[in-house]
Amino acid sequence: MNPSSNAHDAVATSTPEAKCPIDHTAATPSEVIAGTELPVVDMPRLKQVLSVWARPETYLKKCRDTYGSRFRVTIIPNVPLYVISAPEDVKQMFLAPRDVLHTGSSNTPIEKWTGHNGLAWLDEEEHTARRRSVMPSFRGEALKRIERGVLRLAKQEVAAWPRNRAVAMHPFAHRYATKVILEVLFGEHRPSNEDALFREVMKMLEFNSRPATMRPFHLLPAWKMRMTRLFRPNGVHEFLTRRDSVHAKVYAAIDEREKSGAVGDDLLGVMLGITDENGNPPSRVEMRDEIMTQFLAGTETTTSAMCWALEFLTRNQPVVDRLREEMAEGTSDEYLTAVVYEVLRLAPPIQQIVPREVVKPVELGGVRYQPGDRLWASAYLLNRDKDTYPDPDAFKPERFLGVKPASHTWIPFGGGHTRCLGDRIAILELKATITEILTTCDIERGDAEPQPAHGRTVVNIPRNGARTVLRPRR
């Protein structure tokens, strides 16, 4: 679930001809107002930042109830950041020309992981060219190969998960998702240091559970960075040390693969075979940054979705029973697909998708935004719009039977020019893990009460890490 894909990449369903039953078109407003006239959240900046991290659902709902579908938050100093959640606003944002809205400049919080030379940082023609170049590693024959790996790994990993005791499932799901990403990155040509690379990546990503994870400390002056690293409890020094180790191993893997001459449809193989308009191949740093982006975006998001699937399924036994009936019949996965869509609707891993920076004046839904403004579409609020989804807070997979999610009313993978490249892989992983868990185990909740969302880097997971009891199923 990486943050880049096509505006018209539709998620496949068993009934591709089905349409969203609601007409979301709206007449163009006759009066246009300036973005500066929108309401501003009346809350101290620090409290807003902490709310987004620790109580995002409560914060977003309160803002919507108080200010409506458009409002300005002040969590970034001197940056006009506008939250939008009306379907028509989001649709217009996704359809805006590439030279009007940019996403690269909004990825500063994750630069410490990804660098700034990968697809997530590119805009306009650079983004189009890079995207077109790496697309073969996420589609076609590559996707078929990855699917085989997903199914194999699901059996292996779920079989090793603890039984008969309540444990947080997040670490185990994260391990599985990271192994899938290794399949995406290296395919059949695994580097000799794969095991060491995997271990170091997993240790590096532990930093994501710390509050310091979203601080742009990489932009600090050298003396402040030294002071930050000296304060060991924040985890920054360990993270940067691990990251240096991962970078070294990634460079070694790139060199080894290039010397071998092995070709393939994996991401590294594809990048080693492409050139720009001048005949130049991507630099080592560009390849490293694309790989590092996958280690973050391709694992944290899917892991979040797996955890939320367990959170909802352990509270909805009739859904589990119906899934098992479909799995036993073995003729369709229509209901499983609907369950996955509903999980991603209620709990999009990234509740607020990557902001778009306005670089040319743009009008959305009767509001005119100016260069320097940033538009922050709320997947959480949009996916729970009561006019689109009746009883929006209820877990009802049936709402997606025979219905294909619309690209501007269901946005767990973002949308527009930067829609997630790994969307299909993520859905494969969710289906495979749900199937493997429910066919081999009975599932029980580890905590009686429903768990709220809690921040982990750019994603949200159940606060308890999806504590679950897996009972062997006879």
Q: What is the secondary structure of 14-30 as a DSSP string? A: S-TT---SS----PPPS
Which pLDDT score, from 0 to 100, does residue 106 have? Answer: 85
Domain membership of residue 103 (yes or no) is no
Which pLDDT score, from 0 to 100, does residue 401 have? Answer: 96
* Average pLDDT of span 285-296: 95
| 450: DSSP letter | P
Its domain, for residue 430, covers 109-189+262-353+387-472
Domain membership of residue 402 (yes or no) is yes
Residue showing tokens 């501003």:
40
Asked if 40 and 71 count as a contact pair (C-beta separation under 8 A), the reply is yes
- Find, among 281, 354, 269, 301, the residue nearest to 130 by Cα: 281
Answer yes or no: is 420 a known binding residue: yes
Residue showing tokens 């191993």:
249
% of the chain beyond a pLDDT of 90: 78
Asked if 103 and 123 count as a contact pair (C-beta separation under 8 A), the reply is yes
* Average pLDDT of span 11-35: 54
Q: To the nearest whole number, what is the mean pLDDT of the chain? A: 91
pLDDT, tens digit (0-9, with 9 covering 90-100), for 363-395: 999 999 999 999 999 999 999 999 999 999 999
First-to-last alpha carbon distance for the chain, in angstroms, is 34
Which residues share a beta bridge with 443? 470
Report the CATH number at residue 294. 1.10.630.10
Which pLDDT score, from 0 to 100, does residue 1 have? Answer: 53
Q: Which amino acid is at 87?
A: P
Which pLDDT score, from 0 to 100, does residue 4 have? Answer: 43
Q: List alpha helices for 55-139, DSSP H.
A: 56-67, 87-95, 111-114, 124-134
Decide if pLDDT at 204 tops 90. yes
Domain membership of residue 50 (yes or no) is no
Domain membership of residue 65 (yes or no) is no
- Find, among 54, 53, 103, 49, the residue nearest to 76 by Cα: 49
Name residues whose C-beta falls within 8 Å of residue 131's C-beta, 6 or more positions apart in sequence: 4, 5, 6, 119, 421
The pLDDT-based confidence of 12 (bands split at 50, 70, 90) is very low
Pairing of strands 374-377, 356-358: antiparallel
| 451: DSSP letter | P
Domain membership of residue 437 (yes or no) is yes
Decide if pLDDT at 321 tops 80. yes
Domain membership of residue 171 (yes or no) is yes
- Find, among 375, 374, 373, 382, the residue nearest to 351 by Cα: 382
Domain membership of residue 254 (yes or no) is no
Which pLDDT score, from 0 to 100, does residue 216 have? Answer: 83
* Average pLDDT of span 33-40: 96
Half-sphere exposure for 8 (CA within 13 Å, toward CB) = 1
The pLDDT-based confidence of 23 (bands split at 50, 70, 90) is very low
Which residues share a beta bridge with 356? 375
Domain membership of residue 270 (yes or no) is yes
The pLDDT-based confidence of 30 (bands split at 50, 70, 90) is low
**Number of independent structural domains in the chain:** 1
Pairing of strands 70-73, 101-102: unpaired
Decide if pLDDT at 277 tops 90. no
